[in-house]
A and B are shown apart, each in its own frame.
Chain A
Amino acid sequence: MIPIEYFLALSGILFVIGALGVLTKKNAIVVLMSVEVMLNAANINFVAFSAFYGSLNGAIFALVSIAIAAAEVAVGLAIIMNLYKTRDTISLNKINLLRW
C-alpha cells in the first residue's frame, strides 16, 4: 500500500516545478503551462486525501477545479493569441501593457 506521503511529495514537487516555470520563463505559453502544472499539483492533493479518507467531496472538488482550469486556459490562450496579433510577440519581457 502506498503511503499518503508519496502523493503529497509528488504534489509538492510538481508545484515547485510549476512555480519555477512561472518565475523564470519568458514565453507566455510556457508560463500558462506552468500554471496548469501548479493547479494539477493541487488536484493531486485533493484526490489523494479523498481516496485515503473515504470521502468523495475531494474528488468532486478536483473535477470542479479541472473545469475551472479549462475555462482559465481557454481565456488565457485567447489573450495570448490576441497579444501575438497586435504586438507580434508573446515574450513577457516586451509586454508592458499592465505593468506599473
Chain B
Amino acid sequence: MTLRRRLAVLAAALLTAPLLTVIVTASPASAHGWITSPPSRQDQCATGVVANCGSIQYEPQSVEAPKGSRNCSGGSSFTVLDQENKGWRVTNISSSTTFSWRNTAMHRTLNWQYYVDGNLHQTFTNGNAQPPQVVNHNVTGLPSGRHKVLAVWNIYDTPMAFYACVDVNVGGGGGGNPTTPPPTGGCGAAWSASAVYTGGMTVSHKSRKYTARYWTQGEEPGTTGEWGAWQDNGAC
C-alpha cells in the first residue's frame, strides 16, 4: 500500500469514526424478560418492594446467563438475587398457579423450565417460536408449603437463558393468582399504574397504544409529553 493510499484509508477511517461511535453507543442493551406474577425477586426489586437491589431494579428483564445454572442470578452479575436473607416477599399461591413472563425481546424459545427447590418440576415448550410480550404458564401439582421456584427461559438460538426466582407458599391461604395480568383485547394489555415497564414494551390506555421508551412505573401514558417515557402509537 502506498503512503498516499494509506493516508486516504486513514482519512476515510477518521471521517467515519464519529458515525461509528454514535451507532455503537446506540445499540440497545440486552433486554429480554422476567416473571411479574407471582412477583419474582427481580420484579420485587423493580417495583421497590425490596430496596437496595442495585442496578437490577432498572432492568429486571436482564437476568441473562449461560444455560444450566440453578441460581436465581443464573450466575450473572446480579448476585443480589441469590441472597436468601434479602426479605423477598413470599406469595401465597395454590398448587395450580399461573406464572406470567413479561418479555421485552421475543427470542425464539427452546423451553421454559420450572424448578422447585432445585428439582425440575415442569417444562413448557412453544415449538421454538418467538413468544408474545406476555407468556402465561399454568404450573400444576406444586407441593404445599414454602418453596423457591426457579423459572428458566432457555433461548433456542443462543447458549443463553433467563432466570427468575419466585418465593411462594403453596396452599398457605389466599391462593389463586393475586396479580393476573388484565385480559388482552385487540389493543394489547391495558396499562397498570403499579406495574413496571421497560423499554420496548407496549400497552393500551384509553383506546390508544403506547410503547415504553425506557423503565417506567406510575407514569400515565398520554401524560409524559411527546418525547417522554411513553411513545404514542396511535388509536387502537
Partners in one complex: no
